[in-house]
Amino acid sequence: MPNNVNDPLFLLVKSLVGAEKRHFKLYISRNQATEDSKFARLFDALDALKEYSEEAVLKKVPSISRQQLPNIKAHLYGELLTSLRLLHSLKNMEIQIREQIDFARILYNRGLIIQALKILEKVKVVAKTNSHFILTLEILQFEKDIESRHITRSLKGRAGALIDETDFSIKQINEVTHLSNLALRMYELYLENGHVSDEAHSKEIEKIFRQNTDGINEAQISFFGKAYFHQSYCWYYIIQLDFTKYYRHAEKWVQLFTEHPEAKKEEPFLYVKAVHNLLNALFIIGRHERMNQELKQLEKFYALAGGFSENLEIQTFVYLYTAKINQHFLEGTFTEGLELVKPIEEKLKQYQQYIDTHRVLVFYYKIASLYFGSGDNERAIVYLNKIINLKVGQLRTDIQCFARLLHLIAHYELGNMELVEYLIKSVYRFLSKMENLDAVLTEIFAFLRRSLSSKPKDVRKSFMQLRDKLETVSASKYNRRSYQYLDIVSWLESKIHNVPVQEIIRRKFQSSRIKKNNDQG
């Protein structure tokens, strides 16, 4: 039995690709007296294991005692990071800048002050060009320290120039920090509560947001300031259920990287997150053709993402397959969408140590919705049970809520009426804890409770009555938020007309495309 499946060194070794392992072997052969050192043998042992076990390691490398193991592991961990830093330095400008600062520090400590200043001046230009404000400030501080300690015969006005540069750099850092804090705050609010529930909630969110954006002039802020500016607006408008404005800011966010292509290489995570939000916005507002175009671009980026880092590949996988599922939701091709389940499951297993619970939660719900839409209620229930059984506290209570409701509907579809009666009580207890239960959810829940006592001949009439009620209550945008998680109207229409739910959605999709083509014609 493995005694520590989350051992940091083991996870680091297992994250290495072939090229990184080969580089490490070359690195230790150049820098060690012999490759047959204990930490090299420890590396081979960890690489061969499928799961971490201290006993297995000691058995594979008998020359290492139990007392020595912690120190050798720490040494190997450090050597691996050094090797990776050397290998990836040419791909990462930030690492290159830090390396030059380190070189300048070495020269300065040896008394070679002018050489140190020359390196700092050159690397400062690179840091500024690539918008690395904190590194720029670090370089400026180093330059000021040198100027204040030594007579360098600098040009006249050098002190004033350094002061002005520092003040400007601090202003940029404060600007980006403020906007990135706001983006994070908005994201946290979305994860905790989802969309606004009523006018009072909307005004509360608006107050928080306006207090942090008043006085900001988009035209005068830096690239990263603009990126976080649009990111903040994206989260704000999705919380506020204003999906058109959400789309506009997501589009501007992506456009920033089109205008600054070098930033796509320097900050690929920020770029792929921008594309993810654009795809999500296009899905919500039903821009199918544009969504297809952006999806193809993301697929191309995914093919290259592993060349940047495994972490980027994982993030891009999450966004790409989320968009692919959404595409099937939009088109009503749920059965075809089931082909995505196997590769998603394989990747979730492969990346289980690296993908956060929130992403897993979203995938499970989307997969369950695919099965539900295709008519396979039993498989939908399997994934919905995974959500219900996850211990995630208040994380995405909106998804937790709709997972329970869809779970209830799936059992209703299967005719498990005794179980439905029990589940209604369970779901009611869960919903009663929610402060923002909307009218759509209330009506659906009331219908399911009534349907238990309805005669078979009255059920179709009940479906029609519920549909009519939902059309009335969903006049309020705060009640329509439920439709972001569950297309309940299409389900009702499928019951009324006795056709699969995906057929109803496909018809709506095709009808909207015909109407759009006619309008354009």
Angle at 246 between CA 243 and CA 249, to 5 degrees: 155
Instruction: Indicate if the pLDDT at residue 408 is higher than 70.
Output: yes
Q: Distance between terminal CA atoms of the chain? A: 67
- The pLDDT of residue 2 is above 60: no
Q: Is the pLDDT of residue 157 over 80?
A: no
> DSSP alpha helices (H): ranges in 332-416?
334-337, 341-350, 357-374, 377-389, 397-413
Q: What pTM did the predictor assign?
A: 0.82
pLDDT over 70 at 3, yes or no: no
pLDDT-derived band at 331 (thresholds 50, 70, 90) equals very high
pLDDT band of 427, cuts 50, 70, 90: confident
The three-state (H, E, C) secondary structure of 209-240, written as one string? HHHHHCCCCHHHCCHHHHHHHHHHHHHHHHHC
pLDDT score, position 495: 86
Residue range 263-292, pLDDT digits in tens: 888 889 999 999 999 999 999 999 999 999
Q: pLDDT digits over 180-191, tens only?
A: 999 999 999 887
CB proximity list for 391: less than 8 A, separation 6 or greater: none
- The chain-wide mean pLDDT, for the chain, equals 88
Q: Summarize pLDDT for 496-509 with one digit per residue, the tens.
A: 888 999 999 999 89
Q: Mean pLDDT over residues 345-365, rounded?
A: 90
Rounded distance between C-alpha atoms, residue 189 and residue 196, angstroms:
10
Residue recorded with tokens 């040896």: 110
434 vs 247, higher pLDDT: 247
Domain ranges of the chain: 8-90, 93-154
DSSP for 304-334 reads HHHHH-HHHHHHHHHHHHHHHHHHHHHHT-H
Q: Tell whether the model's pLDDT for residue 521 goes beyond 70.
A: no
